[in-house]
Structure formats: C-alpha cells, structure tokens
Amino acid sequence: MAKETESLRGQLLIAMPGMPDPRFSGTVMLICYHNKDGAMGLVLNRLVGTLRIDQVLDELKSDIRLPEELLRVHLGGPVSTQRGFILHGGELKHSDSHIVTDDISLNATTEALENLVARGGMIPWRFALGCASWTSGQLEEEIREGAWLTAPARRELIFKKELPLMWKASLIEAGISNPEMLVAETGNA
C-alpha cells in the first residue's frame, strides 16, 4: 500500500540557494493546500511591480477604497496571474475562507476583501495575484532534490516582516543560524 502524502499545508517553503527555477529564487512561500493530488501556495515576498490594488479594484468595478499602506499587490506565483487571493488572519470567519493554519486563512472573494477593509486594519491581510501549484508528487520531489526547505509558518513573519528581509529571517527560523554559509550546489564527498 502506498504511503499517504503528509500534508505541508501551513508550512513555509523557503527557496534554497541554487533554486533551479529563477521565478522562485530567493522566495518564501506559504503552502495553502496540499494532498495526494498536488499542492498550491502563495509567494510571500514578491510584489507585482508598481501595480496597486486600487487599480485591480477599478478593473473589477469595485467601490472599495483602501489606505495607502494596503495598496501593494503581491505576486503569489506564476499560475493564474489574473486571479486574486487574499491571505488573512483567521479572525475573519468568512464562509468562503479556507483555513491554512489556526490563525491564517485564504479567500478569493470581493466580499471577504470588503469585510477586511470594513474592520479598518484590525485583521492583517495581503492581496496577491497568481499562485504556485504542483502536481501529485512534484513538490515532494523538489524538496528531496534540495530546492526547498520547509519550516512552520508564523503569522508575525507572514504579515509583519519586511519583504526584503523575509527570506533570511525564514531560514533563521528554520534553524539555519548563518544563511550566508549556504551553498548553491550540493556534491558528493
């Protein structure tokens, strides 16, 4: 009988030096879904150039208006880049929310965004376009090959850490006390 896949939902994926896919070099990702059929996650430390969420909302013909500090649009990944995802604190109990961890949820509805805005920043959140996805066994193979390091996700790191500092901070939290010592390639002794 085949061993059932251990879910990585709620774990961080931290790109290791030498990541073979340049789209993920230096990234930190949160795994939102993971089962025997595959996985889906959001990159946490990349922005979509100068795109602002108010531009996205204008395209959707939405009347939602946000304060300046919430206008950044994150690049969730190279898949479904026209689709928006809202990663938010688990305090928002919305019927369409997917629970990622005890205190982090994922949603993709305008209604959830309106609820978060109405709470005036009391619940942390971020908006991302696109996601990353893997087919059955693909993510596990990439981890075995050394492309990713996994670590438990912490809400403070996800919502409060400055983006340029997130990769190094994630490695330190994963137990790598000196990330500068990591090498891009592995070899045989």
98-101/79-89 β-pairing: unpaired
Superfamily of domain 11-181: VC0467-like (3.40.1740.10)
pLDDT (tens digit per residue) in 85-120: 999 998 887 788 899 999 999 999 888 888 887 787
**Whether 9 contacts 175, CB under 8 Å:** no
| pLDDT for the residue 189 | 46
Structure tokens at 49: 């150039």
- pLDDT of 188 over the 80 cut: no
- Nearest residue to 129 (alpha-carbon basis) of 185, 183, 60: 60
Domain coordinates in residue numbering, the chain: 11-181
Q: What is the pLDDT of residue 36?
A: 94
Whether the pLDDT of residue 175 is over 80: the answer is: yes
If DSSP codes are grouped into helix, strand and coil, which group holds residue 116? helix
pTM equals 0.87
| pLDDT value at residue 70 | 66
In the chain, % of residues over pLDDT 90: 58
pLDDT, residue 49, reads: 86
pLDDT at residue number 67: 64
**CA separation for the pair 162, 159 (Å, rounded):** 9
Count the neighbouring beta carbons within 10 Å of the beta carbon of residue 44.
26
Q: For 66-76, what is the mean pLDDT?
A: 79
Q: From CA 68, how far away is CA 143, in angstroms rounded?
A: 38
- Between CA 33 and CA 106 the distance in angstroms is 10
Q: 């006390």: which residue's tokens?
A: 177
pLDDT recorded at residue 1? 33
> Comparing C-alpha atoms, which of 167, 135, 183 is closest to residue 38?
135
More confident residue, 149 or 117: 149
Mean pLDDT, the chain, integer: 86
Model pLDDT for residues 32-65, shown as the tens digit of each residue:
999 999 999 999 999 998 888 877 777 767 777 7
